[in-house]
Structure 1
Amino acid sequence: MTIPTLENERVRLELLTLDNYKFLKHIAQEKDLLTFSPSDISTPEKLNDYVHIAIHGHYHKLCFPFIIYDKVKKAYAGSTRFGHINQTNKVLHIGWTWIGHEFQGTGLNAHIKFLMLQYAFETLEFEKVEFRIDERNNKSRSAVEKLNATLEGTLRHDTLMTDGFRRSTCCYGILKSEWPDIKATVFKEF
């Protein structure tokens, strides 16, 4: 699956590579950035490992990792990804999203999600987009609920965190048939 750069007036999403991930090193070291993630990017070495895993997944057509560029602040802001891509059933996940603290609450994430949902449903013609979120992460759950994603259930103690805790994961979904209404209401100003 080849995905081009996705962009609008606010944000540009381009392929995360070994050449551009260096622009994220300072953001990756921000405190509490991945509190609810099973990933660890807190050191340059761990960020490098994270990027290598993402690139390996892209090579094997399992994911498509993006680097996020905020066109208003003229700065790289973080990373996100299409993952668990199931071509047969036309289902994929949007996740692995982390954005520096100075970019949070600015509307950047809504632009990111709009571009990704639009591409998944309108260009790739996938039938469903899923989001998997730690049940304790109320901030991310609220953001996905604002997209009118449906909570489909909770996977109990399904993910081992870096500190040894077993998290439960809330599964949200948006169907292709729901996208036109979501686009016209949630994203009406885009």
Structure 2
Amino acid sequence: MDCSRCITLKNSRVRLRPLAPTDFEDRQAVIFDPEIWRYTITPSPGDAVGLAAYLTEAGQAREKGVRYPFAIIDRASGRVVGSTSYGSFAVEDKRLETGGTWISRDFQRPGLNRAAKHLLLQYAFGELGCERVELKTDARNWQSREALQRMGATEEGTLRSHCLTQGGRRRDSVYFGMLKPEWDGLLLSVFREFDARG
């Protein structure tokens, strides 16, 4: 994965582009909402200084080639409404992970997250030639687990005491996976409403 590339993806519902240092300047009240960060490993930025640090860290991770953070743009409003990422690159194994996803609560209506995942998965299986895409979530996050199952991801197991999360607590992570041979079928079912040409 060449993280130096400027990747822009779009379908009928959302557009993804590289996360920029100026993103969320006009949406600070939304990004500071602690509820959207409840199950993330990274806590809410909390204030303008925390937001700047969050965006700087995301940019540095991209520069180091360990993560590719995207801004999620709702095409109907033209607003940046969240973020998602590629990470855990295993080039030789043709595998990566999508994650680090959060969406403003006022845009958490049906289909927006699925539209963003559609773009990430299509690019991973198509352009990047992945054979496997992994997704994980906090075991307590039943909303996320159910959404991943509805998208056609297979729940593969729980890693107990997997990593540190907010407040120094150790969390159990539930892993899901999608395989390239499954993708064509999912395009015709779960993701059929999205026009990849945008």
> Does the aligned pair in 2 maintain the 1:150–1:173 contact within 8 Å?
yes
- The letter for the 1-side match of 2:191 is F
* Aligned residue pairs, count: 190
2:17 aligned partner, one-letter code: E
- Among the aligned pairs, what percent are the same residue? 35
The aligned residue for residue 31 of structure 1 is 34
* TM-score between the two structures when normalised by the length of structure 2: 0.90
Cα contact 2:81–2:104 (8 A) shared by 1:
yes
Deviations 1:118-150 (Å, cap 9, x if unpaired)?
Answer: 000011111111111000000111111111111
TM-score by length of 1: 0.94
- Return the alpha-carbon distance in structure 2 between the equivalents of residues 74 and 54 of structure 1: 22
Deviations 1:16-71 (A, max 9, x none): 02233534533211131110111022222222222222111111111110011101
Structure 1 CA distance for aligned equivalents of residues 110 and 151 of structure 2: 16
Alignment-mate amino acid for residue 38 of structure 1: I
The answer to whether the aligner puts 1:179 opposite 2:190 as a matched pair is no
Aligned residue identity for 2:97: H
Q: Which amino acid is 2:190 matched to? A: V
Residue 60 of structure 1 is aligned with which of 61, 64, 71?
Answer: 64
Q: Report what 1:17 is aligned to.
A: 20
Deviates more, 1:54-63 or 1:90-99: 54-63
Q: Unpaired segments of 5 or more residues in structure 2?
A: none
User: Structure 1 residues 105-114 or 132-141, which shifts more?
Assistant: 105-114
1:189 Cα deviation (Å)?
2.0
| Larger relative contact order, structure 1 or 2 (CA cutoff 8 Å, min sep 6) | 2
The RMSD of aligned alpha carbons is 1.4
Task: Pick closer, same or farther for the CA change 1:107–1:8 going to 2, 3 Å.
Answer: same
